[in-house]
Amino acid sequence: MRSNHHSNALLVELLIVVLFFMLAASVLLQVFAAARLQSDRAAKLAEAANWAQNVADRLYAADNPDEALTTLGFAANGESWVYSGERFSAILTQNTETGAAGQLRQGDLTVTDGEETLISLPCARYEEVRQ
């Protein structure tokens, strides 16, 4: 009778250990899934930031910003320029202020993924009037 009692206690202890490991495994699985989602989001943000910086640099260096935007894949949409890519889309709004000494081109490049705004990058270039 005593050995039966000890074997039942051993089975209960084993069940508790198995339940503990199953609980720990499910918690770790959730943690790793959340880490994977954060990693994917960080990679998308980094890619969007690099792409937006590249567009801003090209606009700064371009003599003809409309031609540079067309080369980059943007399409004119009224007062703004629109880009639709595989991973994200972008909208560039520009305005130009002309003064006595030159012309200031300012813009705001907003990169989105669906409804979520990934990055908004201001860009500007001042051009002196050459006489």
Q: What is the pLDDT of residues 15-54, one digit of tens each?
A: 999 999 999 999 999 999 999 999 999 999 999 999 999 9
Residue 76 neighbours by CB under 8 Å, 6+ apart? 66, 69
Phi first, then psi: what are they for 109, rounded to 5°? Answer: -100, 115
In this prediction the pTM is 0.74
Higher local confidence (pLDDT), 31 or 10: 31
Q: What's the pLDDT tens digit per position in 73-102?
A: 999 998 899 999 888 899 999 988 888 888
